[in-house]
Chain A
Amino acid sequence: MADEPLVLGIETSCDETGVGVVRGTTLLADAIASSVDEHARFGGVVPEVASRAHLEAMVPTIDRALKEAGVSARDLDGIAVTAGPGLAGALLVGVSAAKAYAYALGKPLYGVNHLASHICVDQLEHGALPEPTMALLVSGGHSSLLLSTDITSDVRPMGATIDDAAGEAFDKIARVLNLGFPGGPVIDRYAKEGDPSAIAFPRGLTGPRDPAYDFSFSGLKTAVARWIEAKRAAGEEVPVRDVAASFQEAVVDVLTRKAVRACKDEGVDHLMIGGGVAANSRLRVLAQERCEAAGIRLRVPRPKLCTDNGAMVAALGAEMVARGRSASDWDLSADSSLPVTDTHVPGREHSHDHVHEVSKDNLYS
């Protein structure tokens, strides 16, 4: 529908420079420039390297997204940007670009929450989000279980990791196994040829007195590393495929078990899974099995929309416009620890603020 909001979204919370364009719940463009190769030799994302890359990549990526979408900047109804959480310096590059772009074009600016964007992106794949929706977000930066009744205003944390993010555990185990960075895809690949029940690795925080929806992957990580070191110390060969499969099984078993339990406890019949780890093939299969058994409908976007991207930010921005949420002020700042409950950063005057009114006709009046 042509009257649905046309929004450009900018994402720079980690190592991907993402610019997406959506119209309502329709994906028009998803342009990405990644600095992941520059981080590989460090075994993790180096914040300064990421920030430098964002500055270089931003303008060409905006250009590419607009071309791909076949729209003109002057037709946009708003500019959305990840205001947090994420790496402070990296976020600031995206926020600076979004503010300058919105101001120059005379468009409203929406600073939005990265985690809520990960959930909202599913609208581009499977249509409007059911309300409520349970969401399991798993990546190198986050592992959270969230319940949302309205993605523009109400996201409640059910549980989160108390130590490492799930994706971080994949990176660390890949490093111990000398498999390179990032760890997720390569562990997934080796695990396909291994036996997931070969080694009984611990399931963190699954005891009867443990918090029902929180996660812990640090103990698992240590257990796997010790097991590998013991093999090496004994001069035995490390069965990489079995280790990968057994480790991966321990992670996805806990993730899916807790997510399904949260759905049941809250009477929610939809589960969405997002974040980079949602690309894991075993997580997808096991989640599907367990959701089916529990009568829950599973929604997982395609892998490219699960990892960080600009389309997810645009998707949430479009929803903000559609629901009449107030725009952000020109002094919007990046907030590396923006709480998940802050779905966006509205301007101080909750109605349409006057700076936007004044500047609306900046360019194409």
Chain B
Amino acid sequence: MLLLALDTATPAVTVALHDGTDVIASSSQVDARRHGELLLPAVDRVLAEAGLKLDAVTAVVVGTGPGPYTGLRVGLMTADTFGLALGVPVHGLCTLDGLAYAADIEKVPFVVATDARRKEVYWATYADSRTRLTGPAVDRPADIAEQVAGLPAVGAGALLYPDTFPVAREPEHVSAAALAALAAERLAAGEELPEPRPLYLRRPDAQVPKNYKVVTPK
């Protein structure tokens, strides 16, 4: 088994290869504006580091967000197309689950929060590093302060809003290595992974013009 994991739902462009036992190669670059440019070269580099070619990959796992849409879609589209070209399955995993898995937290429950921009966070709560309790959701930090009071928190969204998350810590961004390890563990346990569908959580921004109605029959 060779699992290729990708995530572009946070400022990190992150890629990893997992052989079913261990992560054998990985790459993470933080650049929120260049997901499109960085992802394919990162895949090429990780494969070269492992001395493998893409056709050795037996499944693809991709972070489904939530995360800023433009970047998020780069990973999803890339994973989907690899699946088509290689004829291998493509699985999704919630990006926040990958962060939770990588979080080294002894006190539970805890919170994972990433930056949703517009002064909001994407967040979820976890009973332990493998078990999501609530979410994912998108909210203003002040609006969820009561719900998360006293809970430790990880992720850039938590680090960004210390008033709401006074006990925030690393990791800041998700790593594909964590995503791959979590996926490998779940697949080995015979679990079915989610579809590789984006978790947008918000409706698209669009203003319907006033005084406008379609009267022409189609």
B-binding residues in A (CB < 8 A): 40-44, 46, 48-49, 51-52, 55, 58-59, 62-63, 73, 88-89, 92-93, 95-97, 99-101, 103-105, 175, 178-181, 186, 330-334, 355, 358-359, 361-363
Q: Give chain A residues whose Cβ lies under 8 Å from the Cβ of B40.
A: 99-100, 103, 330-331
State which of A93, A104, A175 has its C-beta within 8 Å of the C-beta of B86.
A104
At the interface, yes or no: B54 with Cβ under 8 Å from chain A? yes
Q: Give chain A residues whose Cβ lies under 8 Å from the Cβ of B214.
A: 40-41, 180-181
Name 20 A/B residue pairs within 8 A (Cβ), A-sorted.
A40-B214, A41-B208, A42-B208, A48-B204, A51-B70, A52-B69, A52-B204, A55-B80, A59-B80, A89-B69, A96-B36, A97-B77, A101-B84, A104-B85, A179-B215, A179-B216, A330-B40, A332-B37, A355-B41, A363-B86
**CB proximity of B87 to chain A, nearest CB, Å:** 10
Main secondary structure of the interface of A (DSSP, over half): helix
State which of A42, A51, A355 has its C-beta within 8 Å of the C-beta of B69.
A51
Contact B70 A362 (CB under 8 A): no
Q: Give chain A residues whose Cβ lies under 8 Å from the Cβ of B77.
A: 55, 58, 93, 96-97, 100
Contact B44 A103 (CB under 8 A): yes
Contact B69 A175 (CB under 8 A): no
Q: Give chain B residues whose Cβ lies under 8 Å from the Cβ of A58.
A: 77, 80-81
Q: 1/0 per residue B43-62: CB within 8 Å of A?
A: 11000100001110000000
Q: Give chain B residues whose Cβ lies under 8 Å from the Cβ of A103.
A: 40, 43-44, 54
Q: Give chain B residues whose Cβ lies under 8 Å from the Cβ of A333.
A: 34, 36-37
CA–CA, A333 to B40, complex, Å?
11
**CB proximity of A343 to chain B, nearest CB, Å:** 21
Q: Give chain A residues whose Cβ lies under 8 Å from the Cβ of B70.
A: 51, 88-89, 92
Contact A96 B206 (CB under 8 A): no
Chain B minimum-CB-distance residue to A49: B204
Contact B38 A104 (CB under 8 A): no
Q: Give chain B residues whose Cβ lies under 8 Å from the Cβ of A49.
A: 204, 206
- On whether A42 and B81 interact (CB within 8 A), knowing A180-B216, A362-B53, the answer reads no
- On whether A331 and B37 interact (CB within 8 A), knowing A42-B209, A48-B206, A104-B86, the answer reads yes
**CB proximity of B63 to chain A, nearest CB, Å:** 14
A-binding residues in B (CB < 8 A): 34, 36-41, 43-44, 48, 53-55, 69-70, 73-74, 76-86, 198, 200, 204-209, 212-216
CA–CA, A97 to B200, complex, Å?
19
CA–CA, A330 to B41, complex, Å?
6
Contact A92 B73 (CB under 8 A): yes
State which of B54, B73, B80, B208 has its C-beta within 8 Å of the C-beta of A362.
B54
Q: Give chain B residues whose Cβ lies under 8 Å from the Cβ of A96.
A: 36, 39, 73-74, 77-78, 81
Q: Give chain B residues whose Cβ lies under 8 Å from the Cβ of A89.
A: 69-70, 73
State which of B43, B200, B208, B213 has its C-beta within 8 Å of the C-beta of A178.
B213
Chain B minimum-CB-distance residue to A331: B37
**CB proximity of A338 to chain B, nearest CB, Å:** 14
In the complex, given contacts A331-B40, A362-B54, what are 10 additional A-B residue pairs having Cβ atoms less than 8 angstroms apart?
A: A42-B207, A42-B209, A59-B84, A62-B84, A89-B73, A93-B73, A97-B81, A181-B214, A331-B38, A358-B48
**CB proximity of A124 to chain B, nearest CB, Å:** 25
Q: Give chain A residues whose Cβ lies under 8 Å from the Cβ of B79.
A: 100
Contact A55 B198 (CB under 8 A): yes
CA–CA, A337 to B187, complex, Å?
44
State which of B39, B84, B212 has its C-beta within 8 Å of the C-beta of A175.
B212
**CB proximity of B68 to chain A, nearest CB, Å:** 10
Nearest 5 Cβ contacts at the A-B interface: A104-B85, A48-B204, A100-B81, A180-B214, A96-B77
**CB proximity of B73 to chain A, nearest CB, Å:** 5
- On whether A92 and B36 interact (CB within 8 A), knowing A51-B73, A355-B44, A363-B55, the answer reads yes
